[in-house]
Amino acid sequence: MKLILASGSPRRRELMSLVYPEFTVAVARGEEITTEKQPHKAVMQLALHKAEEVAGNFPDCVVIGCDTVVVFRDKILGKPHSEQQAFEMLKDLSGNTHEVFTGVALVYNDVKCCFYDRSEVTFYQLDEQRISRYIATGSCMDKAGAYGIQDSGFVSGISGSYYNIVGLPVELLKVKLKEFVR
């Protein structure tokens, strides 16, 4: 069965190759809008929108959509819209623990399966210069919460799946894919 990853994220492509080495990428272009206030529901809704958008062009293929958000003090943090917003996000996360939710949707014709994973991340205390240096790299602008666990050096500890924090809960996806394609 052919798998399609509905994501342009190079990090998700790399992680997907750990699950299933042969897949195709078809990027969902729709706007990321959710009406859900609960993080786990929001990421599953957004992942399903992406998967359904792409699935329309690939009948008889399993399409995988994903979305990741950071949650701090009950506020959902997506990708920053400006460097100032990135700075404010990182300053808030500094020295604190937050949650990372990644929703995944599997779509095969009319059959759909949605699930999510949740991890906790604790940051070191960050000074403003360190935050500014990271923002200057540009790496923060395409990541939920304005950071990448793989390149920021901000993380003092995690609880849960590392891969979930990067953007694709590999361990859970392997299990769900086996169940889904039976």
CA-based nearest residue to 119, from 172, 179, 178, 51:
172
Residue ranges of E strands in 7-152: 24-25, 62-72, 75-77, 97-108, 111-123
The third-level CATH classification (topology) of the domain covering 3-180 is Maf protein (3.90.950)
Task: Parse the chain into domains and list their residue ranges.
Answer: 3-180
pLDDT digits (tens, 9 = 90+) for 58-117: 999 999 999 999 999 999 998 999 999 999 999 999 999 999 999 999 999 989 999 999
Element (H, E) at 129: helix 128-136
pLDDT for res 78: 86
State mean pLDDT over 24-30: 90
Host H or E run for residue 139? none
Is 92 assigned a catalytic role? no
Catalytic residue among 60, 67, 127, 142: 67
Helix axes 128-136, 83-93, angle to 10 degrees: 140
